[in-house]
Amino acid sequence: MSKIFKALSDPTRRRVLELLRHRPMSAGDISNQFDVSRPTMSAHFAVLREAGLVESQKHGKSVVYQLQLSVLEDALLAFAQTFGWELRSQPAKNTPSTLQGPVKK
């Protein structure tokens, strides 16, 4: 459960989940929506996959991500989005949370 809370505590990862709510997307398409480096996005994807919130599938050369949320996790995501959960502990250097940039409009 702590992995899920950790995954949902980051605004970038929540935004990724919101994007995937509409349709499955390739890693490249998701990364293009954010002003962050590819390795940072990869780290975010790894956290989401580790928490079991997304699953990845290889479609040809690209990796496609799709949501894998239970109803409770879906509700937690909505709650986190509404109240803007943030991880209170000091983030370590070079973790995805410290490297994230603004979301492209």
Partner 1 sequence: MTTQSQNSFSEWPIVVGAIIFLGGVAAIAIAKKTGIIEYETATRAAGITMGMILAVFGNFFPKIARPLSDKLNVTAKALAADRASGRIMVFAGLVYTTLWLVPAFSTDWLKLFGPLAVLCVFAVVAINQVWIARADILPFQNGKPKTVAEWKRSGMFIIMHALAWAFAMLLADFIWGDDSRIWMLVVFIVTNGWLSNRAVRSMPTAE
Residues at the interface with partner 1 (CB under 8 A): 22-24, 49-52, 54-60, 64, 66-74
Least distance from partner 1 to the Cβ atom of residue 88, Å:
25
Measure the CA–CA gap between 76 and 19, rounded to whole angstroms: 16
Q: Of 43 and 64, which has the nearer Cβ to partner 1?
A: 64
**Closer CB to partner 1, 58 or 88, in the complex:** 58
The DSSP letter of residue 91 is P
Instruction: Answer yes or no: are the C-beta atoms of 73 and 48 closer than 8 Å.
Output: no
Q: How far is the CB of 89 from partner 1 (least distance, A)?
A: 23
Smaller CB separation from partner 1, 1 or 92:
1
Q: How far, in Å, CA of 102 to CA of 82, rounded?
A: 19
Name residue 82's amino acid: T
